[in-house]
Every structure is written in C-alpha cells, then in structure tokens.
Structure 1
Amino acid sequence: MSIKLIAIDIDGTLLTSNHQLTEEVKATLKKAEEKGVKIVLCTGRPLTGVQDLIAELDLYSENDYVITYNGALIQKTKSQEIISQVGLTHDDYIAIDGLARKLNVHFHTETEKFMYTSNRDISRYTVLESHLVDMPLKFRTPEEITPDLNIMKMMMVDDPEILDAAITKIPQEFYNKYTIVKSTPYFLEFLNKKVDKGAAVKQLAEQLGLEAREVMALGDNENDLPMIEYAGLGIAMGNATENIKNAASFITASNDAHGVAVAIEKFVLN
C-alpha cells in the first residue's frame, strides 16, 4: 500500500495532552513530506486555530490544503482559496439554539471570524474554545444573530455529565437533519448534514486524483470516525475512543507517546 495523503486530526492526535507538537512528530512529518506525501490537517478547529501549526510544519506551499470545522471548509493554506464550504442557515441557528435552551445546556456559534454566545453566564468551555482556537468571542442575544452571518458550525458545550444527559433528549429529527458529533467529552457539534471529516477527505483526495487506498487518516475521537472509515488505512490513537479503535486498521501509541510518528514510521517511511 502506497500512502500519498495523510489526514491528521489535531487535538488528541497530532498534539499532546498539553497541546504541544513534539519534535519526534514534527521530524517524522517532514520526512513523509520529503517522500512526496501530502500532509493535511483535518480538524474541528477554525483556520485561526491551526495557522500556527501550519507555519510550524511549513505547510504553506501552493498545493497545501487544510480541512477545518470538521469538514465544513476545505481550503488552500497559502492563498486561503476555498475549495469547498458548506455551512448552516439562520433557520438552523434558531432551531438549534432553541433546542439548547430547552435542554438547559450552554451553546455557542462559530463563523469564519468570530464565536458568538447568547449565554449570559458564559460557559468556561466556550472561553476555553475561544482561547484554544484564537477566535474572538462575542455575546449576542438570539435576536442579534442575523441572517447575514456565515455560520460554519454550532456547539452545545457543558460539563460531561450535563451534556451526556442532554444528548439522550435530543429528538431524532435533529439527527436526521444535521451531522451531530461529539469531539470532546464537553463539546457536541452541529454541522450541515453533508459535512463530516470523511466526506471532506474523500472530496480532497478525489480532487487530487487519489483513491481511498492511498489515504491514511489518524484520529482519536468520534468526529474522526468518518475519515477513519473512509481511508484505506485508518489509524486510531492509543488514547482513542473504543468506536475509533474498533473502526481502525491499526492502533498506534497515544498522543503523548508520539503516536502519529509511530504510525507514519511503520506504514509510510519503512
């Protein structure tokens, strides 16, 4: 099997638990690039939350790509030319914000430039997300969220036990209409039904003339499942959820033990 594209999740996969990129992983990715393998970061984060990593990994050539918002946006890293963008509507906002209020969980909305919350008692997880992805946070009432906003995704955020209890009460009609995926124990993400990481990696691979068997995907959480299932070689991190491990072709070391480097050394560089 000759791997020509490696799609890598960021949090819990590429980065350690302390959100660091190890020298071991960085060096291995460089070797894979030098071998002609395309490295594509594939994350739930917005572009603002990956630019430092793109720079550190030197993924700024004319033909480098990044997948953000769990697949809602595919673009070139250097020119930021958009390859694909699939967001949500103002009507979607009204419906999902209303559901969050009914379930009594915190909630925020992300566009390409800003995060918006209508919670006066702003969740610490919203603040965490804003800091992690370097995106300014604004308070707006639901009435102030206007139809002109280009919404990429929405998130219910709360303590895991509160969020898990709320998830059991989400009506099936929402699952029918949206892609709903847990990206961490305290984040539940709502996306356009056409959007997931697997669909985005597939679209990019096909645009580049590649088949699934030429793609490796590495991930740790539920939002990574579609790309793990799509890729010819799906790799679960040692710290991955059981669903990811069960779907994967191989389980590598954890993110704190350079698991990305271990997998690439084994399947790409040997």
Structure 2
Amino acid sequence: MSRIALVISDVDGTLVTKDKRLTEAAQKAVARLRGAGIGFTVTSSRPPVGMRMLVDPLGLDLPMGPFNGSSIVDPQFAVLEQHRIPATAAAISLKVLAEFAIDAWLFTTDHWFVDRLDGDYVAHEQGTIQADPTAVDDFSPYLDQACKIVGSTTDAALLARCEQAMQQALGTQALAVRSQSYYLDITPPGQDKGSFVRAMARRLGITTDAIATIGDMQNDLAMFKTSGLPIAMGNATPDVQRQARHVTASNEDDGFAAAVEFILKQQAAS
C-alpha cells in the first residue's frame, strides 16, 4: 500500500455524531494526522455554508468538496471549481420528485430553496448546515443555477424507489444517489466524491493511491473506488462496508478517530 499523504472524510454519519457534534476525539485525530505530515479535508453533500463550522475547530487549510464534491471551495469559501446541474435535468428531477410526492429542495451556491417550510426534514437541515431556507412556489427561475437538488422524505423505501426512477429518467444528464436514507441528492453529471479525490490528487501532486477516504453512505462509494485506502464507518450499510478495505466503529463511538488510528498504524508498519 502506498504511504498515505491525504485523508478525505465525509461529514454526516462519519466525522460528526448523529446530533451533528464534532467530538474532542475527532478534533484530536485530525491534529494527529497533521502532526504525522498527512493532509486532511472533507467532502460532503452539504452546501458550502454547511461546512463553515468545521474549519476553525479542525484547522482546515486545504480545499473542500461541498455538494458531493461537485464544487470545490477553499477554507475562506472562495469558489475554486463549480459545476451546475443542466437546467433540463433540474426540471426532470423536480418532475420525478413531484410524481413521488417527495419534498423538493434546490440549492444554488448561496441559497437554499424549498417547496414547503414545514417539510419533514427542513428543521433538521437547518440545524445541520446552520442556514435558513426560502420557500418558493416555483423553482423555474433557479433551474439554471442549481448546484444540488434534494428529495427528502421519512419513507426510506419510497425514496429508494424514487432513486431508481430518477436514475432512469436522468440517464447521464445528472447523478442521483442517496446521501442519507432520507435524502436523495441530484448533482451535476461527471462530478462526485470520486472526482473530488482525483482533483485533490492533482492539486497536491500525489497519486490517488496515497489518499485514504472515510465514509458511510452510497454517495461515498465513488471516492472509495478512487482512493487507495477506503474505510467504511461501522454505521454504514453492509453494501457500503463491502466496498471498503477496513471497517471502523460507528460515528456514535468515535469511529472517525479509530479510522485515523488505523491509518497511522498502517503508516508505521509500512
């Protein structure tokens, strides 16, 4: 195995606990990586604003990958790369969500629009990203600005069926994958957490084999397939765990810190 030069972590379900708390153990783990000369950054389905609360506690100094890695921002949140969903694909996505009667959200670089403020997960997302949405009757004015569209529902089985229908309806026009059992993310084509891994390798002048990735959901599989050392959380589903080279503890049991410990031990043994 190549020596690890960079660790890229998912955020929700991985780096933070269920109540979106960044534990002391997680903060110390990132500091240990830095002390070992290993870089660290994050990629997440969150919009850029949802990553602000991580920068200072973790001392982040490398580019980050919001919107499932389809955008890249620096630690001051200047946009380095940005991709948007084609307007036609955005319209198709919203149509499919409406057919399944699933709440629809649309994120631009700086705004979060929802079809109803009393949606099941609106308050949850407000707490997660520490930003407020704007309710709109019509998403049409924003279709050409969409960085991410989200379908949100408490019915996980319904969302799984919607995911299949969405992928069939979109084809190669956009990506559709669940970031949580209750969120279906539609993002720009050809851009995902795997493309973020490759972009970071180029920026740092390293190979993707020298990158370790940590995650828990289907949207993390793209970076698992691209990186040299993919690590799944203990709270990940079995299908996600099977795609990893190592499975750590859950995010409620400081699994991120345990994953970092595993990486450092691998380094010491190599």
- Do both proteins adopt the same fold according to a TM-score greater than 0.5, normalized to the shorter chain? yes
Q: What is aligned with 2:124?
A: 128
Residue type at the aligned position of 1:123: G
- Cα distance in 2 for partners of 1:171, 1:224 equals 17
Q: Identify the residue that residue 141 of structure 2 maps to in structure 1.
A: 146
TM-score with structure 2 setting the length: 0.91
1:100 positional shift: 1.4
**Residue 202 of structure 1, CA deviation:** 1.0
CA deviation string 1:153-176 (max 9, x = no partner): 001111223323433544613143
Letter of the 1:84 partner, please give it: E
Call closer, same or farther: CA 1:222–1:171 in 2, change over 3 Å. Answer: closer
Give the Cα separation in 2 of the matches to 1:210 and 1:57. Answer: 22
Secondary structure of 2:178's partner? strand
Measured on the aligned residues, the alpha-carbon RMSD in Å equals 1.9
Q: Distance in 2 between matches of 1:192 and 1:205?
A: 21
Pick aligned residue for 2:74 from 54, 73, 76: 76
Select 1:220's aligned residue among 210, 216, 222. Answer: 216
| Stretch of structure 1 that moved more, 68-77 or 166-175 | 166-175
Deviation at 1:149, TM superposition (A): 5.7
Superposed CA deviations along residues 79-137 of structure 1, whole A, max 9, x for unmatched, are x3322211113333322112211222111101122211234x74121332233112221
Q: Distance in 1 between matches of 2:144 and 2:127?
A: 21
Equivalent residues in 2 for 1:22-171, closer than 5 Å:
22-59=23-60, 61=61, 64-78=62-76, 80-119=77-116, 122-142=118-138, 145-147=140-142, 150-159=145-154, 160-170=156-166
Where in structure 2 are there 5+ consecutive unaligned residues? none
Match in the other structure for 1:199: 195
Aligned to 1:9: 10
User: When the two structures are superposed, what TM-score results if normalisation uses the length of structure 1?
Assistant: 0.91
* Counterpart AA for 1:151: A
CA contact (8 A) 2:20 2:128 kept: no
In the other structure, the counterpart of 2:19 is 18
**Residue correspondences, number:** 264
Task: Evaluate the alpha carbon distance shift between residue 23 and residue 147 of structure 1 in structure 2; reply closer, same or farther with a 3 A threshold.
Answer: closer
Q: Please report how far the alpha carbon of residue 145 of structure 1 lies from its aligned counterpart in structure 2 after TM superposition.
A: 3.5
**Which amino acid is 1:190 matched to?**
I
Taking the aligned partners of 1:186 and 1:261, their CA distance within structure 2 comes to 26
Between the aligned partners of 1:216 and 1:33, the Cα distance in structure 2 is 14
Contact 1:115–1:130 (Cα < 8 Å) also in 2: no
User: How many Å separate the matches in 2 of 1:137 and 1:123?
Assistant: 11
> 2:110 aligns to what SS in structure 1?
coil
The SS at the match of 2:14 is: helix
3-state SS of 2:212 partner: strand
Kindly indicate whether the alpha-carbon contact (under 8 Å) linking 2:175 and 2:189 is maintained by their aligned counterparts in 1: yes
Distance 2:91 2:256 in 1: 40
1:259 alignment partner, one of 255, 258, 263? 255
